[in-house]
Amino acid sequence: MKFLLELQSEEIPARMQAAAAEQLRTRFVDALKAAGLAHGAVTADATPRRLWLIADGVAAASEGSAEEVKGPAASAPAQAIDGFLKKTGLTRDQLEERETPKGIVLFAMLRREGRTASEILADVIPQIIRDFAWPKSMRWGAASHSTAAPRWVRPLTGIVALLDGDLVACEAHGITSGRETRGHRVHAPGVLSITSAATYLEQLRAAHVLASSAERRRIIATRAAELAAGAGLSLIPDDGLVAENAGLTEWPVPLLGRFDPDFLSVPCEVIVLTMRTNQKYFALADASGALVPAFICVANLDATDGGAAITHGNQRVLSARLSDARFFWEQDLATVRAGGLEAFLPKVNDIVFHEKLGSLADKVDRVAALAKWLCENDVVPADPAQAERAARLAKADLVSATVGEFPEVQGQIGRYLALGIGVEPAIADAIRDHYKPAGQGDDVPTAPVSVAVALADKLDTLICFFQADMPPTGSKDPFALRRQALGCISVVQSTGTRLSLRKLMQYFTDICRLSISDAGWQPKLLDFFADRLKVQQREAGVRHDLIDAVFALGSEDDLVRLLARVKALQAFVETEDGTNLLAGYKRAANILKAAEKDGIGEPASGEGDGAEALLAAALATALPTAKQAVAEERFTDAMAALASLRGPVDAFFTDVMVNDPDPGIRARRLALLARFRDAVHGVADFSKIEG
């Protein structure tokens, strides 16, 4: 049988519809499973005015079941037996007595009759509605005299529940189920009576309601693209906007509108943002990809005049909005023409960066100093003065009228204003790009001035919050420090920037006088970077234990070098030589650990003979080779040097007994193992490696 459930309500916020449909589906499937009612495919979806679900192949009834429950002994006190009878709902003579090794025990046979689908659904529907969890819900109407009144995202107005053509009678939130629903508000304003679950979708379609969100999305995307193409333009694709418009319409009709080309003097990001965020319009581009003064809006009906009035109205609204935007933009341009971007800086002083960390102006000072330092110390190949100036101007646009109105275009507005008054492009670009990368998949800046400011800005934030002992905890990361650290890692990796985090932290401590300070912040911040690196490298298949093994050396604080080292190490430990050497290392480390507890004593002179001498000789070659290779960042060579030890180490453990009765010889052999361990530690702390 086919089952239909429709929950009608006043307009459901677009952003909540998809999750609500999925929740309905999950709750329904779980409830049927718990009730033992078999079913086939279940589809759930939403329009602005309804959540609906259709289940195919619903069984006519649930299967009956039988369950055996063990009770107390027949000789148990009456109280215990009464309790068991109450629990099972049986009488004493219905219980079965059975011989067991523990004497005669009572058993109950519980038989559950199968129930009809209709009965089960009548129970399940009200339960789903009562338990439903909306991101925000409300009370309404006469029932809201009680604060315990039913809650829904907006007033719930009707329930349709049909099993094939039969009504499933139930009640929830004061509403009795029926077969009546509503079609499109304008095209089909009357009551629509649904014949059966099988005809629901087509009956709605006839009433100008496209129940499938996927179909509405498809219509919006294809029709909008056709309209654009018809005007010789192309649609700037925006899946989020397609979904949002599909959540605002039951009968979507895209329409093409235009605006005055004079508005193109406003930065295109601002225009696109106004259209997208405020009006939910699609932006259009010409063949060269440049923004054109046109848009596509999505109406919710086939208007009697073909959409002329709707298009005209939307054009007027956009025009008023763009007038506002142009007013702000021109005001900002006038400000910088009179006094440069510097004209904004006094106001930056009034913005609080964080109550414990001072104003944004304080931050700008620190970032400027850091950016300059990065260039002066050859970390970033940019002119220190240019980097410093870019850092000084990078936050100026935050107090501009345009960014005040459109916060999302921070940086971009600063860049346009800078270019508008002839600031060097490298600085202008750095103003825009220093926020990048804003997340996974975002562009990573590579121009040197941008890199200097981007790194300085992020590192300043990280260091400040760690110094003030406000690192992220668990799921709480209110200042997005994880993203900042990941951003730093991406920038240094993609530009091959060589930066000693320790040196930088030391410099920062010198220039920054934070009154509050967590003494242990430096190692905590290094650990934080290590953790971020592990997360970031997980996808690339880099092992987290190897990152730990290199970080644990304590000397490696250059992320680029660290990663090169980790990768060489990974290649090595996955070879046969590597696996064996690791086993040898662990054996040596264990022996040393036990021996070092009691003291090793004075070693005998000489190098011994056989495998012992062989290992000593191998170490004498491998140790300096590995050390030099590490110093020259030839990590694969360093690994090869270690690999050369594999044979001698294996032979040593096969042929030589470390715990010789002569304490001098024992000490000499232990010292040899210690040299081996140290040689390995020159590359990585193998004790952190798993396996």
Partner 1 sequence: MSKPLSFQSMILALQQYWGDKGCVILQPLDLEVGAGTFHPATTLRSLGPDHWNACYVQPSRRPSDGRYGENPNRLQHYYQFQVILKPSPADLIGLYLGSLDAIGIDRAKHDVRFVEDDWESPTLGAWGLGWEVWCDGMEVSQFTYFQQVAGHDCAPVAGELTYGLERLAMYIQGVESIYDLAYNDAGVTYGDVFLKNEQQFSAYNFEAANTEKLFQHFKDVSDECRALVARGLPLPAYDQAIKASHLFNLLNARGVISVAERQAYIGRVRDLVKAVADCWVEQGK
Which positions lie near partner 1, rule CB under 8 A? 10-11, 13-15, 48, 136, 138-147, 153-155, 157, 185-186, 248-249, 279, 281, 297, 299-301, 303-305, 309-310, 312-314, 316-318, 320, 323-324, 350
At closest approach, how far in Å is the CB of 191 from partner 1?
A: 12
Q: Which is nearer to partner 1, 162 or 248 (CB)?
A: 248
Q: At what angle do helices 610-631 and 635-643 cross, to 10 degrees?
A: 180
Q: Which is nearer to partner 1, 15 or 92 (CB)?
A: 15
CA–CA separation, 686 vs 583, rounded Å? 10
In the bound state with partner 1, the residue whose beta carbon lies nearer, of 144 and 196, is 144
Helix (H, G, I), strand (E, B) or coil at 180: strand
Closer by beta carbon to partner 1, 107 or else 140? 140
Structure tokens at 199: 């005809």
Q: In the complex, what is the shortest distance from the CB of residue 178 to partner 1, in angstroms, rounded to a whole number?
A: 15
Residue 134 C-beta: closest distance to partner 1, Å: 10
Least distance between partner 1 and beta carbon 22 (Å): 19
Residue (151 or 502) nearer to partner 1, CB: 151
Q: Closest distance between partner 1 and the C-beta of residue 19, in Å?
A: 14
Nearer to partner 1, 298 or 417 (CB): 298
Q: Quick one: three-class SS letters along 113-178?
A: CCCEHHHHHHHHHHHHHHHCCCCCCECCCHHHHCCCCCCECCCEEEEEEEECCEECCCEECCEECE
Q: Calculate the CA 414 to chain-centre distance.
A: 29
Nearest approach, Cβ of 364 to partner 1 (angstroms)? 18
Minimum distance of partner 1 from residue 183's CB (angstroms): 14
- Residue 688's H or E segment, with its range, is none
Q: Is 382 or 399 the residue whose CB approaches partner 1 more closely? A: 399
Distance CA 219, CA 254 (A): 9
Write down the least CB distance from residue 113 to partner 1, Å: 40
Paired strand residues for 192: 181
**519's tokens:** 């003494």
Q: How many CA atoms within 13 Å lie on the side-chain side of 188?
A: 17
The least distance separating partner 1 from the CB of residue 135, rounded to whole angstroms, comes to 11
Q: What share of the chain is helix, strand, coil (3-state, %, to 5)?
A: 55, 15, 30
Closest CA to 588 of 676, 647, 664: 676
Q: Which is nearer to partner 1, 192 or 391 (CB)?
A: 192
Q: Which is nearer to partner 1, 31 or 270 (CB)?
A: 270
Q: How far is the CB of 136 from partner 1 (least distance, A)?
A: 6
**Closer CB to partner 1, 268 or 317, in the complex:** 317
The encoded tokens of residue 530 equal 């290590």
Q: Is 116 exposed, middle or buried (0-12, 13-18, 19+ CB in 10 A)?
A: middle
Q: How far is the CB of 301 from partner 1 (least distance, A)?
A: 6
Which is closer to partner 1, CB of 208 or CB of 524?
208
Give residues with Cβ within 8 angstroms of 683, minimum separation 6.
Answer: 565, 569, 626, 630, 635, 638, 639, 642
Cβ proximity to partner 1, 297 vs 501, nearer residue: 297
Nearest to 140 by CA among 130, 131, 150: 150
Contact between 318 and 275 (Cβ < 8 Å): yes
Count of other CB atoms within 10 angstroms of residue 198: 17
Q: Is 309 exposed, middle or buried (0-12, 13-18, 19+ CB in 10 A)?
A: exposed
Total Cβ atoms within 10 A of residue 410? 18
Q: What is the 3-state secondary structure (H, E, C) of 252-307?
A: CEEEEEECCHHHHHCCHHHHHHHHHHHCCCEEEECCCCCEEEEEEEEECCCCCCCC
CB 317 to partner 1: min, Å: 4
- Quick one: 355 or 378, whose CB is closer to partner 1? 355
Q: How far is Cα of residue 198 from the mean position of the Cα atoms in its chain?
A: 40
Q: How many CA atoms lie within 13 A of 675 on its CB side?
A: 19
Smallest gap from Cβ 356 to partner 1, in A, equals: 16
Which region, left, alpha or beta, applies to residue 151 given φ > 0 means left and ψ of -120 to 50 means alpha? beta
What is the Cα–Cα distance from 39 to 27, expressed in whole angstroms?
A: 14
Instruction: Say how far residue 486 (Cα) sits from the centre of its chain.
Output: 13
